[in-house]
Amino acid sequence: MTVLITGGAGYIGSLTARLIRASGRATVILDTLENGHRKAVGDAPFVQGDVADSSLVERICSEHGVDEVVHFAAYKAVGESMSNPEKYFNNNVIGSQKLFGALNNAGVERVVFSSTAAVYGTPSTVPVRETDPLHCESVYAETKLMIENTLRWYAQTTPMRHACLRYFNAAGASDDATLGEDWRFSQNLIPHVMKAVLGHSPVLQVFGNDFPTPDGTGVRDYIHVEDLARAHVAALDYLSAGNESITCNVGTGHGTSVLEIIAATERISGKKVPHEIVARRPGDPSQCYADAGLITEKFDWSPQRNLDDIISSAYAWHSSHPQGHDS
């Protein structure tokens, strides 16, 4: 089997691509390299291009014998999506729709899609279940939901089946510290914590300490990126076995606060994390973590790494790669 991995030169994409290859599948990676890194691909077959280029996608599928796809390629900055919605609708939604059309024309019937827990918005209860109401609070989240719905209709009208994976907070780096997240382009908490502890930024801003949580700071579900990569392989196996389309959360099932992240970083690094408490950001939920029961049941998957593994791997990666893959 050959897997086309769109966005496979990015943070999660590159780690997942490596694990998919290790599982015995052939791969081909398609990435614009706008936010990805050629070095992260290694020696895997690689094509620089856009998922919206239908003729290119069909040619790749034909030349490489593609029979399944993992679709990561997307813009993902929430703030930018609100200031430039056209960019996000054009790239994420229209690009994905052109991709699925080309895949259907090429006879590809299995798609694993990188979605997001952001489709739930601010949850009314935790843990968050797949059956909970969807309430997108950003253009970014809305684009992911629109892609989910596009796949749902393809499943009803064509032979194409899908697994939509709603990630919670991907974090950490590869176990060998060769692949990780570039803090220059990340809006995620842990890269910013690492930037502060390693002295590459003056102070970490903690947005609010008056939430109704045990220590007053926001609580999120942090999942190690290696566990997340395993979930994609499990999703490919699930679809390859002939199972029906599915949408499921990918998380650990428990939350960690900002101050707990800082404390773990200080303990593991032996250094202080300079930080200051500032006002809450509008719309930030007090806590959000997954009910991961469905993916455990259907994929026989569960997280194997804990918070210390996340922090240790992130610290090793950022220490040795302060400029990301350009280091």
| Contact indicator for 155, 161 with CB cutoff of 8 Å | yes
Q: Other CB atoms closer than 10 Å to residue 83's CB: what's the count? A: 10
| 140 belongs to the catalytic site | yes
Q: Say what the pLDDT of residue 192 is.
A: 96
Helix 307-320 crosses helix 189-197 at what angle (to 10 degrees)?
Answer: 60
d(CA 55, CA 172): 36
Asked whether 140 and 153 are in contact (CB, 8 A), the reply is no
pLDDT of residue 82: 94
Same fold, 2-170+222-250 and 175-221+255-289+305-326: no
For domain 175-221+255-289+305-326, the CATH superfamily is UDP-galactose 4-epimerase, domain 1 (3.90.25.10)
φ, ψ dihedrals at 3, nearest 5°: -110, 125
Its pTM stands at 0.96
- In this prediction, residue 301 carries a pLDDT of 97
Note the pLDDT of residue 229.
98
- Interatomic CA distance for residues 25 and 1, integer angstroms: 6
Within 13 Å of residue 195, how many CA atoms lie on the same side as its CB?
20
For the chain, residues with pLDDT lower than 70 are: none
How many helical (H) and strand (E) elements, i.e. helices and strands, does the chain have? Answer: 12, 14
Q: How far is CA 243 from CA 23, 160, 177, 246, 278, in A?
A: 19, 12, 35, 9, 48
Contact criterion met (CB below 8 Å) for 202 and 274: yes
pLDDT for the residue numbered 91: 98
pLDDT of residue 59: 98
Residue pair 317/252 in contact (Cβ under 8 Å)? The answer is no
What would the two tokens of residue 208 be? 């609010």
72 close to 12: Cβ distance less than 8 angstroms: yes
Q: Which of 75, 120, 140, 289 is catalytic?
A: 140
Q: Could you state, in order of their start, the residue ranges of all structural domains in the chain?
A: 2-170+222-250, 175-221+255-289+305-326
**Residue 54: predicted pLDDT:** 98
> Between 258-269 and 189-197, two packed helices, what is the crossing angle to 10 degrees?
40
Map residue 222 onto helix, strand or coil: strand
CATH superfamily placement of domain 2-170+222-250: NAD(P)-binding Rossmann-like Domain (3.40.50.720)
Sign of CA dihedral 232, 236, 242, 244: positive
Tokens representing residue 78 in the block = 């929430």
Alpha carbons 222 and 215: distance in angstroms, whole number: 17
